[in-house]
Structure formats: C-alpha cells, structure tokens
Chains A and B, each alone.
Chain A
Amino acid sequence: MKKIYLLLGVVLTSLALIACTSKPKLYVLNWGEYINEDLVEQFENEYGVKVVLSYADSSEAMEQKVKEGTTKFDIVIPSDYMIEKLWDEGYLQAIDLSKLSNFDHSAFVPGLNGIMSMMFQDNPEVTNAYTVSMPYFWGVFGLMYNRQLSGLEAYIEANQWGAVFEQEPANLFTRPLKVGMYDASRLTYSASLIYANDKGLVDDQTALNKFSTVYLQTSEQVLSQRSYTLWATDMLKKDVEAGNLDLAFVYVGDFFDTYLILTENAKTTEEATQLTSHIGIFVPDTTIAFYDGMVIPAASRNVDLAHTFINYFLDPEIAYENSGIVGYTTVLTETAEMIKNATKGDVIRSVMASDYPYDPSTIQDFTAIPLIAFSNADTDSVAAMINTVKSK
C-alpha cells in the first residue's frame, strides 16, 4: 500500500514539475527591492507565464551577468550609462514600440525627457532613445540623514557634498558623525569629483564623467579625507533609518522607499510625519541624475513576452501600484498626477511628494548631470582605487 502512495507521489510531483516547465518563462534581472512583487504575480496570472526574478546591486554587476550569458535574460533594468554601453557593444536589441500599446512619447514627465535627449549623443544611429530602453524609474542622488542629531541638517545645507566627504570639525556635534558611502565605484568616483569641482580641487564641471589619472588621484584624495562607518548599497537607507548612520550618500528614491515602508500602517498625515520625523533627505546643488530603463538583451529568448512585460509597467495604474512599493520617482506624468492629487486616496504619498524633492523637475536651482559610460578598463581602475582607499 505504501508503495502505491509513493508511486502516486512521484507521479504527481513529476506532473507538477512538467506543469511548471510548460509555462513560458520570463527572466528578469533587477535591482533588489525595486519591483512590486504582487504586480509580478498579477502579471504571471494574467498571461499564464512564470517570471523568474534575479537581482544585482550595481549596473556593473548587471553588465557582468548579461555578458556572461549563463542566464539568457529577457528584461534587464540597468541605469542610463550602462544602457548606452551595452547597446554600443551590441548586447541589446531594439524595443519595437509598435508592440507597446501603452507607449506614448508625451506620457513621460518633463525632467526625464532631458536625460533621454542626452542619451546616445555620440551615436547618431540611435535617433530615439526609447527604442533602446523604456524608462522605469528615475531621480537624482542625495544625502539621507538623521534629523534627530541637532545641527546636522544645517551643517549639510551649508556644506553640501562636503558634509559627506570632509571630516566634520571636532566638537561640532555631540559625537563623531557616522557616515555611509555608496559602494558602487562609478557612483562614488563621480560624486567625489562633483565635490572636487565645488571645492576648486579640479576646475571642470564635467569631471564626473571623465576618466583620467589626475582625476583618479583627486578622487582618491577626496575619499581619503575621512573614514566611513559603512560602505554598502541597500543597507545604507536601513542603517540611517535605524540610527546606525547619521548621514549617507544614497539614491533619493532610497529615502522615499524608507518613507513608504515606515508609513505603511499610518492612518493620517500627522501620524506619517511623526513616524518619519527622524529621517531627512537633502539634494545638493549639483548632483547626479539617473534613470533606470528596461532593456531587452540580444540573447533574449522570449522577446514578445518581454514587450508585454514592458507594456504592462507602462500602464499608469500599474506604475502607480509599483511606485507605491518601490518609492522611487515614477516616469509617467499621469502616475505622477495620481500621486500628487491623491486621486487614489493615498494622502500620505501625496504629502510625501509635496514635502520632499520627489519629482526632480520641480526642484529649483539645481544641476543634475547624468553619467556617461566608462570602458571596462577605466571602471576597473576606479574600483581598484576605491579598494586602495579602503585598505589604507
């Protein structure tokens, strides 16, 4: 009798396995905590497919995975400069805009068009950047800080990037600052060069997008000015929130992500303000702008489904649900309006969007520069420089 049950079990399991494999699979390579997984499930049910999510914590890590080709990804969501690089090197295929019923050039927020128009400036073959990548989220970089430490807010406003890169004067605060640095070499390098330009260490507004041994040395010098409590990526926002860090260089979206998590169960805006009273975000006068876009690798084996997936996230309603979990700034005007006017009744999100620099196009008097791709050898040199800084 036991044997019959066993046999039945084996048959059922193998049937279940066959059922699994018969569904078309969509392989998606994404950043951590960067998609509303309920929507993924909804997509799976709606189209009868299986979405396999993989994660990477930098554009370089995504590049590595795409080039390795061990997994044939159908959708990857790298940042602007990496999209350009992967396209130029032939690792991507064009997006067929006619397959995207939700696509409309005018549907995107104004600030984003600025970044999109700067893409592929030295590649005249690409006349429409939207055929290479479909914007997913966008934003700028900023400094997330602990609002409970008195004097810190004023100090950051006065010193801008210097607050992160310089050792603060002794006895200014009750204790030494605990500062976190983003552990993605390209971002660290560029931010340090914005600071260097602010301080006159280099005289070049576009230094952040150039690689040279002189700038490499400048960057090393800047990064050696203080020691950092933590070099990390997704951990930074959590540690500022928990009070383990006072200040960290992060994506502004990391702040909103944290904000939304903290206010998840809040009923009123007062309650939300109170729950988030310990964290703040500051955008320096000159900063890095970015957008992350969905691209279809040349090796994709499920191109049509990839288009369906892209189209799905272009639906303003879906984008609204997605940005409610992710926190980063939406790329769609209609979704931005829904958030701003709280049309879905989410007053807390609308207050968040109006109180903080949620939509970069509405911030006054600041410069946001998108990054340009470096060659692998240059990126490697930058990474080696940062390892040298850490080993000092």
Chain B
Amino acid sequence: MNIKKLGRLVVPYLIWMCVLVGLPLIIMVVLTFLKSNALDLSTAEFSFDSWRLLFSDLTVRTALKNSVVNAGIATIICFIIGYPVAYIVANSNFSNKLIILVLTVIPMWSNSLLRNNAIANLLSERSIVNDVLNNIGLSFIWPIRGVFYDSGFSPAVVIGLVLTYLPFMILPIYTVLEKIDKSLLEASMDLGANKVKTFFRVTFPLSIKGVTTGIIMVFLPSFSGFAIPKILGSGNLVFIGTLIDSRFMNRNYNFGSLLSLVILLIIFGSMALIFKVDKEGETLI
C-alpha cells in the first residue's frame, strides 16, 4: 500500500476536525462582530461593541495579568519540583520505574474538582492543618485561602495548579531523560567534566525538548482554566477563565467568544514560537 492510499485514511479525521473545530471557530469569529442574545441570530445586529470593550475594559487586562502571573509561578514551581523527580527516576536503579511514574499520576484518578475543594478546606484558616499546628503549640496560622497580593499572585490558586498539573511536567521530562544515550555521559566524564558540568553541558541541553513540552502542558491549562481559580481563588480575583465563564453564563456569547479567541491567539502564538525554535520538531506534543 503506497502512501497516497494511506493518505485517504486522514479524510474522516479532517471532516471531524472541520465540523468540531473549524466550524465552531468560524461561528466564534462571527459572534465577536455581533450583538446577539446568545445564539439567537434572528435579533442579532452587527456591532463592534465586543472589540471596543476588549481594548477599553480594565477588567480584561487585570484578568489576563492575574492568569499569567499565577500560571507562570505554577509552571516555574512545577519545573523546580518536576525536573529533579524526573531526573532521579530516570537515573535510578529501580527495576520498575513505571510504578513510580504511576504513583505521580494516581492523584489524577480522583476528580480534580473534588481534590481542589479538599485543598481549599485544608488551606482555610480553620482547618485540620491549623488545628493540629495549634494543638502542638505552634501558633503559626496562615489562612492561605483568601490571601492574594497586588500582583494577582494567589498562593492557594498556585498550590492547586501545581498539585493538578505537576504530572504533566514530570512525564515529558522523564521520557526525554530516559532516552539519553548513557555513552554521551560517559564520554563527557572521560573528557574530564565532573558530574555537575556533565549535567549542565550534556544532560540538560538534551532534555530541553521535554522541558518545553512540560512548560506548555502546565502553562496553557493553568492559564486558561477556570475551575481551580474559582474554587481556590475565593472569588476575589478575576481570571481570564472565570471572566469567560461569567460572560457565557449571562448569555453574552459575543464578548465571551472574543475572550476565548484571545486565549486561542496566545496559545497559537506560543506554539508558533516553539516551532520556530524547535526546527526538528522534537518537542513532544
């Protein structure tokens, strides 16, 4: 069977994509230029209101900033925790490394909303954690839930994001580290480099693709999600996800669509940047 014949197998997928991705995208773009009650096109009129609002509304800017700040911090923390874990597992002598990886994924088997609500409880001022601390004589009480800074940084939201998305950082980095040819490391040692130097000159550069993938897979959902900020953010901070949720909830599909497109553009932008840097297409997405 030649490649042309195989190519036909793509057709169903293309149709699928057109109907479920392409068409909705077009509808979203059209909606941004309308003023309509939800999807009711009979009363819709042409309007630039949504676009005007996008550039004039301070709330959008604050929401974007809050989302970037929290997603950014969460991604950095995931990297700081995730890389060593991946490195240790990849270089360990465990007979079954898979088990350790599965252990990192196990928390994901429980519903993430449930988990984040539980985290919200634990981070409250009056919680088991603080009660125990109190009872053993530590008067350390930090009501993490509800605390937020002017920068938009909310420790509770970041904790929730890290706990939810950490496996997405560990797994791609592990995959890349696992594949590194050990003879390269030996060569480096032979040539006089110590372990630290070998790590920074050989291992880390070789694992950068996995890191990029990890960063994308943690940052994007953290940036655009709305459930975690809603549960852990105490409703005090607007995030781009919660803003879109609120618009769609009140049947303003026009501005909601526009905000969704903004997110989409940011995502495509970052992808384009990555593909430009990553010419060989080795990033695992």
Contacts and interface: CB of A to CB of B under 8 A. Distances in A.
Contacts of A61: 249
B124 A242 contact: yes
A93 interface: no
A67 B38 contact: yes
**Chain B contact residues: over half helix, strand or loop, or mixed?**
loop
Contacts of B66: 391
Interface stretch (B171-179, B205-213, B230-238, B274-282): B230-238
Given A227-B236, A229-B234, A391 B58 contact: yes
A244 B125 contact: yes
A380 B127 CA distance: 36
Contacts of A379: 250
Given A67-B251, A230-B146, A376-B252, A387 B126 contact: no
Contacts of A380: 247, 250-252
B250 A376 contact: yes
A37 B243 CA distance: 33
A64 B143 contact: no
A153 interface: no
B120 to A, nearest CB: 8
Interface in A231-273: 231-232, 235, 239, 242-244
Given A228-B236, A231-B236, A244 B126 contact: yes
Interface string B21-47: 000000000000000011000000000
**Chain A contact residues: over half helix, strand or loop, or mixed?**
helix
Contact of A64 (B125, B237, B249): B249
A232 B251 contact: no
B207 to A, nearest CB: 39
Interface string B207-240: 0000000000000000000000000001111100
Contact of B59 (A60, A181, A391): A391
A265 to B, nearest CB: 20
Interface string B119-147: 01000111100000000000000010110
Contacts of A383: 246-247, 249-250
A229 B234 CA distance: 7
Contacts of B76: none
A244 to B, nearest CB: 5
B248 interface: yes
A64 B59 CA distance: 23
B283 interface: no
B62 interface: yes
A60 B236 contact: no
Contacts of B237: 390-391
B59 A388 contact: yes
A63 B248 CA distance: 11
Contacts of B247: 380, 383-384
B69 interface: no
A183 interface: yes
B251 A391 contact: no
Nearest to A183: B235
A388 B61 CA distance: 11
Which of B247, B251, B252: most chain A Cβ within 10 A? B251
Interface residues of A, number: 31
Given A60-B250, A376-B250, A232 B243 contact: no
B58 A388 contact: yes
Contacts of A181: 235
A230 B252 contact: no
Contacts of B126: 242-244
A63 B38 CA distance: 12
Contacts of B146: 178, 229-230, 244
Contacts of A377: 37, 252
B63 interface: yes
Contact of B246 (A235, A239, A387): A387
B42 to A, nearest CB: 13
Given A64-B251, A384-B59, A388-B58, A376 B37 contact: yes
B273 to A, nearest CB: 28
A230 B236 contact: yes
Nearest to A68: B38
Contacts of B58: 388, 391
A376 B38 contact: yes
Contacts of B235: 181, 183, 228, 230-232, 390
B49 to A, nearest CB: 11
Contacts of B252: 376-377, 380
Contacts of B251: 63-64, 67, 376, 380
Contacts of B249: 58, 60-61, 64, 383
B116 to A, nearest CB: 12
Contacts of B124: 239, 242, 244
A227 B243 CA distance: 19
Contacts of B250: 60, 185, 376, 379-380, 383
Contacts of B63: 387, 391
A226 B91 CA distance: 54
Contacts of B38: 67, 376
B236 to A, nearest CB: 6
Nearest to B146: A229
A65 to B, nearest CB: 10
Contacts of A390: 235-238
8 contacts: A185-B246, A228-B235, A231-B234, A231-B235, A242-B126, A387-B63, A390-B238, A391-B58
Given A67-B251, A376-B38, A384-B247, 4 more contacts: A185-B250, A231-B235, A380-B250, A391-B66
9 closest A-B pairs by CB: A231-B235, A391-B62, A380-B250, A380-B252, A243-B126, A376-B251, A391-B238, A242-B126, A230-B234
